[in-house]
Amino acid sequence: MEAADYEVLLVREQLFHKRVRECIISTLLFATLYILCHVTLTRFKKPADFTTVDDEDATVNKIVLELCTFTLAVALAAVLLLPFSILSNEVLLSLPRNYYIQWLNGSLIHGLWNLVFLFCNLSLVFLMPFAYFFTESEGFAGSKKGVLGRVYETVVMLLLLSLLVLGMVWVASAIVDNSNTSRESLYDLWEYYLPYLYSCISFLGVLLLLVCTPLGLAQMFSVTGRLLVKPRLLEDLEEQLHCSAFEEAALTRRMCNPTLCWLPLDMKLLHRQVVTLQTQRLMLEKRQKASAWQRNLGYPLAMLCLLLLTGLSVLIVAIHILELLIDEAAMPRGMQGTSLGQVSFSKLGSFGAIIQVILILYLMLSSVVGFYSSALFRGLQPKCRDTAMTQIIGNCVCLLVLSSALPVFSRTLGLTRFDLLGDFGRFSWLGNFYIVFLYNAAFAGLTTLCLVKTVTGAVRDELIRAFGLDRLPLSVSGFPRQHSKTQLQ
């Protein structure tokens, strides 16, 4: 064997081992996310749906649960994709020749971006519609009952839905770009149709993030206030405990002696109210046992961190708006190469990269809080061990739409300079200056408006409670008094 042939074989062998190593790493990462999501969904599913007398329904629910677990794992991978890429670039920049991180390279990162994009398309276009139709299907009339009959009906419904969506995308493409090249490109299902459809879904996800994130940033203060113990100046736990105990005793007495009330009683509703009051009383007792450090230091520090992160996010977006006006390089675009570890994507180096990751994750958490706080999606919020399968499917779809739009959302707002890899950077609307500029301006305006409204209202309510004015029988400065039940919520 000649030396040239030996070198070619050596290069092929190294490339083969490299691909196998990347495949194993990707599989391990996704398996970890899959197990975590499976444990999470198990806590929210209805146990009765999987222990029914009808084995067919239980089997269908188990299959749908696995599909939902896969979709939720893809959503979590999409959330961690950009932070993992930013931190990997900083690690490669700091330790370029370290033997123990040779597995971390640009090819692996680029492959992860492509896999997440592929799985997002697969989950949104095929798996979740299949899961929904599979749950609602009963088999064709006159056909043999069983899981296989449901599969046949689901496949037919999915094909009809695909044809409907294909026609809608065809019409939309003809309206936007009425040219023969644009219409003929839709025949290419894999290279154009699916990315174009996902581009539309991603655009809707980015718009949903634009609405939910400012609302969530404002709600984060109240959510954190319910989780942490406030100082005694802002909260009287003893009074709340007494009120909760009195209400629980009154409801319990009413349940034990229903004849004392001349109106018909809903015993199930009373039982749920008693359980809710018991849960609130236990939480109040735990909060009452908190130490002085947790009470006087934890709550102010948490509020200060939230205010700092929110203000920093708005400041970065405002600076990015100015950069869009004077520098064309500030526009989001895709990265063609896979070379990482060459230059830092933050002017502050590794410290700036860590700040970027924290801001991205914080905004994602805020968007989820805002999503479930909105009046339109409040009914979709899952309940522990009391969530129907169709509701789980809806939650997985919504979370996947939000999380898959997070990389585009972060790059559009200028939270990071890390350019989009793979097909995430092929969205045509990313190159439109007016869309990007108006999006940044709308985010900064909505966030500022929500914060001003929420913070001023919260300060007003806390001052009223601190001075005891909420106990007055008359309204104070035009604001009605708050009852103890409202304070417990």
* Average pLDDT value over all residues in the chain: 78
Please return the burial class of 475, using the count of CB atoms within 10 Å of its CB with bins 0-12, 13-18 and 19+.
Answer: exposed
Return the pLDDT at 344: 79
Question: Mean pLDDT, to the nearest integer, of 111-116?
Answer: 87
Return the pLDDT at 486: 39
Say if residue 190's pLDDT is above 70. Answer: no
pLDDT band at 430 (very low <50, low <70, confident <90, very high): confident
The Cα–Cα gap between 451 and 225 comes to: 15
Return the pLDDT at 179: 59
Return the pLDDT at 362: 93
Its pTM stands at 0.80
Q: What is the pLDDT of residues 14-46, one digit of tens each?
A: 777 778 888 888 899 999 999 999 999 998 888
User: Is 61:67 a contact under the CB 8 Å cutoff?
Assistant: no
Q: Encoding tokens for residue 438?
A: 């108006």
pLDDT band at 359 (very low <50, low <70, confident <90, very high): very high
Q: Which helix (H) or strand (E) holds 115?
A: helix 106-122
Residue with tokens 């896979």: 338
What residues form DSSP beta bridges with 118?
none
Q: Encoding tokens for residue 40?
A: 């999470």
Task: Please give the single-letter amino acid code of residue 460.
Answer: R
Residue with tokens 């001052």: 463
Please return the burial class of 298, using the count of CB atoms within 10 Å of its CB with bins 0-12, 13-18 and 19+.
Answer: middle
Say if residue 71's pLDDT is above 90. Answer: yes
User: Is 436:413 a contact under the CB 8 Å cutoff?
Assistant: no
Q: What is the pLDDT of residues 381-409, one digit of tens each?
A: 888 888 888 899 999 999 999 998 888 88
Return the pLDDT at 334: 56
The DSSP-derived string for 391-443 is HHHHHHHHHHHHHHTHHHHHHHTTS---PBPGGGGG-GGGG-HHHHHHHHHHH
Q: What is the pLDDT of residues 365-387, one digit of tens each?
A: 999 999 998 888 888 888 888 88
Question: Mean pLDDT, to the nearest integer, of 219-237?
Answer: 71
Say if residue 57's pLDDT is above 50. Answer: yes
